[in-house]
Structure 1
Amino acid sequence: MKLSKTIIAHRYGSALFALAKEKDVRKDLLAELLELKKAVKDEPRLMIFLTSKQISLSTRRSILEKMAISSSELAANLLRMLFDYGRISSLEDIINEYIRLNDIFEETVRATVTTAIPLEEKQKSKLTSAFAKLVGANKVILDEKVDPTVIGGVVLRSDDYVYDGSLKLKIARIRRMLLK
């Protein structure tokens, strides 16, 4: 029976997180995994290379070993195990699961804020502290996006919450009321 990517990510991510907590390297491993995720995202051909059956196993393994050598023991073992079990293509999903578990542990919420113009630091600070209080988080990490179609105001999205205080929405509401 073949396991889904979600199940694989959950199992490996949970085990990795538990082990990192046990060894007291949770934050260090998080930083390393974020770098690894960025490297995979910046060079998408790497995963194609590592999973390609047209390239010899020894060549693929030598590239993986170069990645493992520059990694911590936990990250290197993860890379080797995923490669050996033919699950290296799930690496990014496993990293995402580790990040999710770490966010729960640290009571951190990740949110996307969309505005018509870039926010100033003071505005970001007020927004993050207000949102943290609203959702009961210790920390909010904002991913900023600029979208001129918002016109004004803020659209804030996290996994469980959407707040649309944009001028675009307000204009649409007024328009619907006028058309009734």
Structure 2
Amino acid sequence: MKLNRNMNNRQLADAFYQDSKEKGTVDVAFDNMMDVRQVLETIPNLGTILVDPRLEKYKRDHLLTDLIKHFDINTQSFLHMLYDYHLISDIRDVVNEFEKIYDYKNRTVVAKVTTAVQLTDRQEERLINVMKQKLDAKKVLLHTNVDEHVLGGVVIEAESQVYDGSIRSNLEALEKQLIR
């Protein structure tokens, strides 16, 4: 895997994805990156700590080694490269970009669903099946949100698109037609 200091977070994540794919460890790399995210939730400023010159280098080295010792060798190598190139402070953004690439390549769609009332399990299942067909997805992950401002229906945000099937939206469209 070839990295350089001039790569942006997307390029870094893509290089790691491609390298993992070549080695047949993409799913392991994804699991490791999700573990890194969990560590970052516990220690939000970890990237900053690992580049802070006030902390002695050997202590920073030891901290990184302890954090990644259970990851596969490819992930360890990638994180060490980020650390060596002083790019580790951007680790949160690299993880986010890696997840986006992984989801795209595996046709996993993450959708934000807003409704007036909580969806039942059956409604969620039907919505997932419809979205799989419409978006040619293998897997759909729903993040549901209840918002009393949605009079009824559903608003879905997925793959940079908004599908607004809310009653409020339909009423606004009807109002515009009547005004013409």
Settle same-fold status: TM greater than 0.5: yes
Distance (whole Å) between structure 2 residues aligned to residue 119 and residue 175 of structure 1: 28
Query: Distance between the aligned counterparts of 1:114 and 1:64, measured in 2?
Result: 40
Mapping of 1:1-180 within 5 angstroms? 3=6, 7-173=7-173
Amino acid at match of 1:140: V
Q: Which is further off, 77-86 or 87-96?
A: 87-96
**SS state of the match for residue 119, structure 2?**
coil
Where does structure 1 lack aligned partners over 5 or more consecutive residues?
none
* AA aligned opposite 1:160: S
Q: TM-score, normalised by structure 2?
A: 0.84
SS state at 2:149 partner:
helix
Shift of 1:171: 4.2
> 1-side partners of 2:90 and 2:47: how far apart?
10
In the TM superposition, what is the alpha-carbon distance from 1:172 to its structure 2 partner? Answer: 4.0
> How many percent of aligned residue pairs carry the same amino acid?
27
**Structure 1 stretch displaced more, 51-60 or 104-113:** 51-60
Contact 1:68 1:80 in 2 (8 A): no
Letter in 2 for 1:84: D
Cα distance in 2 between the residues matched to 1:39 and 1:116: 34
Query: Shift in Å at residue 122 of structure 1?
Result: 1.0
- Using the size of structure 1 for normalisation, the TM-score is 0.84
Q: Displacement of 1:177 after TM fit?
A: 6.3
Cα offset for 1:156? Answer: 0.2
Report the CA distance shift for 1:156/1:59 in structure 2 as closer, same or farther (over 3 A).
same
Specify the SS of the correspondent of 2:41: helix
**Which of the pair is proportionally richer in helix?**
1
Deviation at 1:19, TM superposition (A): 1.8
How many corresponding residue pairs? 176
Which range moves more in the overlay, 85-94 or 95-104?
95-104
- Structure 2 counterpart of 1:47, which letter? G
